[in-house]
Chains A and B, each alone.
Chain A
Amino acid sequence: AQTVTQSQPEMSVQEAETVTLSCTYDTSESDYYLFWYKQPPSRQMILVIRQEAYKQQNATENRFSVNFQKAAKSFSLKISDSQLGDAAMYFCAYRSLMNRDDKIIFGKGTRLHILP
C-alpha cells in the first residue's frame, strides 16, 4: 500500500523568506501523481501544485515550486517570498494512475506559520 510521510508537523518562516516543506512517499508503482494541498483556517482544501511522475521537470506555480526526486521518492514544496496569506496547513498527497485504486492518499500535514 502507498504511504505519504511528512516529517515536519510545524514550520515557521519570516515573511518574504523562502521555506521548504518535506514529503516522502512509498510506492511500488511507476505511474502516479503527487500534489500539495493547502488548508487555510477556513478548512477548505486548495490545490497548490501537482507533479506527474513521468515528467522529470519540476512543476512551478508562481511562488510555489517542487523538488521531485523520483528515485528517492521525495517531493518537497518550496515557497518563495512567503506571504502572510501562505499561513496554513499543507498536505502532500499521492494518487495512483495505474489501477483501480484511484483514491488520493494524504500525509499528516505540516502547519506553516508566517512571522511578520
Chain B
Amino acid sequence: EPEVTQTPSHQVTQMGQEVILRCVPISNHLYFYWYRQILGQKVEFLVSFYNNEISEKSEIFDDQFSVERPDGSNFTLKIRSTKLEDSAMYFCASSNRGRLNTEAFFGQGTRLTVV
C-alpha cells in the first residue's frame, strides 16, 4: 500500500540553526500539507501546497518557514532559525480531491527537538 514517508524520524538541533524536514508524498497525489503537533496538544495546520505554490498557510507559518517541492517527488519544510518553541512533531500529508479521494494520508512524523 502506498504511504507517505518522512525523514528524519527525529532531529535535534540547536536554537538558531536551520532545519529541513523531508517528505515523499504518495506519487499520484496533488495536494500536500504540513501539520505540527506540540507534545500532547492538538494537530495544527501549517501550510497547504498545490500546483507548485502555497494554497493556504496559517498564522503559525511565518517568515521563518518555507516549503518546496524541488524535484517532483520530495516535499520539504524548512525552518530558517529554529526557536525552542518550534520543538514539536511535524507531520507531512498528501491527498487528492474529489468525492472518492478526500482523506489525507499522513507520514509517521518527524520529532524536532530544539535545544
Contact = CB atoms under 8 A, between A and B. Distances in A.
Interface string B21-56: 000000000010101010001111100101000011
A33 B102 contact: yes
Contacts of B91: 45
4 closest A-B pairs by CB: A45-B106, A106-B43, A108-B42, A33-B102
B87 to A, nearest CB: 14
A43 B89 contact: yes
Interface residues of B, number: 26
A55 to B, nearest CB: 10
Interface residues of A, number: 24
Interface of A: 33, 35, 37, 42-47, 50, 52, 91, 95, 97, 100-109
Contacts of B97: 97, 102
A43 B108 contact: yes
A47 B103 contact: yes
A47 B43 CA distance: 14
A50 B102 CA distance: 9
Nearest to B98: A97
Given A102-B97, A105-B45, A106-B43, 10 more contacts: A35-B103, A42-B108, A43-B37, A45-B43, A45-B91, A50-B102, A95-B104, A102-B50, A104-B45, A104-B104
A21 B50 CA distance: 33
A92 to B, nearest CB: 11
